[in-house]
Each structure stands twice: as C-alpha cells, then as structure tokens.
Amino acid sequence: MVVSERSLSEHTLVETFVGRFDQHARQDFKWRIDHAINQGYRFVVLNMVAVSFIDSSALGWLVLAQRRFQRIGGKLGIIAPMGFVRDILELTEIHEWIPIFQNEDEAWKDFSSLEAIPLSE
C-alpha cells in the first residue's frame, strides 16, 4: 500500500492510500496513525479512492483507529472508496463508526466545524 499525506490544517490530515489495504499494510497503517496523533492531529481523512482491496484485518484497524481518535476528541473519516472496497464497507456497515464522504471538500466541511471544539481537560 502506497501512502502519501498532506495537512489540511493544524488538526486535520489527509492520508491517501493506493493499492491493497490488507495484513501486509498493518505496520505502515499503525505507524501513520501513531504519527498523526503524536503530531497533534485530531482528525484524519483516509482517501481510499485508489484502494483496490481491503480485508477483515484492515476493517478492524479502521475501527480501532477511530476509537483512538474519539479518545482524544477527534475523528477518522474515509473518502469514497470504489468497487469491491465500497461494497465491503457497505456490507460491514462501517459508516456507523466511521463517516464516509464523497470527496475531500465534503470531509473538510465536516471536520473543520469540529476543529473549533476545544479538547476536554
């Protein structure tokens, strides 16, 4: 899985995934989530438009990552995956835990409104 990242703001990061999101991507995914949180990002958007495959372990990592962000007053989001990946996300009803957006602008509107909310002490 090839990943690139870019900051949308002080608190929001976009991670773009390309290829397969499976057990072989575990270390990279975990490192990226750890790194984002350690850098102070509360909101991470996963752009999965170019992801061709996702397995059950990756679904579990997504839910665990969302829980980590919730603990720090943040949120994880996914941008419109295609084909097989979208089918799997719909079948597993992942949107009940992690919002799925059509594009980056839609995600930014949702996340930017949350950035103004201060962290709980």
Q: Where are the domains of the chain?
A: 2-115
- Cα 72 to chain centroid distance, Å, stands at 15
> Hey, which CATH number is domain 2-115, 3.30.750.24, 3.30.70.141, 3.40.640.10, 3.40.50.300?
3.30.750.24
Mean pLDDT estimate for the chain: 90
Nearest to 100 by CA among 34, 56, 51: 51
Prediction pTM value? 0.87
Phi and psi at residue 48, to the nearest 5°: -110, 20
Give the C-alpha separation, 69 to 42, whole Å.
6
Q: What is the pLDDT of residues 78-88, one digit of tens each?
A: 998 889 999 99
Give dist(CA 86, CA 4) in Å, integer: 21
What six digits make up the tokens of 82? 């295609």
pLDDT digits (tens, 9 = 90+) for 27-71: 999 999 999 999 999 999 999 999 999 999 999 999 999 999 999
In the numeric block, the tokens 């102070």 are attached to 40
**CB half-sphere exposure, 12, CA atoms < 13 A:** 20
What is d(CA 16, CA 102) in angstroms, rounded to the nearest whole number? 14
